[in-house]
Amino acid sequence: MKNIIRYLFLLLAFFIIAFYLRQQITIVKLQYRIQSFSDEIELMKSKNKELIKEIEELKSYKRLEEHAKKLGFIKPSPQDVIYAEDNSVYR
């Protein structure tokens, strides 16, 4: 009878240790994934800042004016400009 109790005790201890180790392995894997996602977020934030800066540069008045000159556009004279009244569209 003592052998059966000892066997059951060892079996229970084995399952407890196995369960604990499985939890620890899962925790380590999840921590790795979290760190990976955090790194990816930081990379995306950095890329986003670069893209916002690039957008601002592309939208700058000076750049648009230079690009228009390259395409052969010229500034209109005051007589060539027609202003719409009350944000309405002329047809």
pTM: 0.55
pLDDT tens per residue, range 32-58:
999 999 999 999 999 999 999 999 988
**pLDDT at position 88 over 70:** no
What's the gap between Cα 52 and its chain centre? 13
Which residue bears the tokens 């790795």? 32
Position 87 scores a pLDDT of: 62
Angle CA 55–58–62, to nearest 5? 140
Calpha distance 52→67 (Å, rounded) = 20
pLDDT in tens, 70-83: 999 988 888 888 87
- Average pLDDT over the chain reads 90
Question: What pLDDT does residue 6 have?
Answer: 92
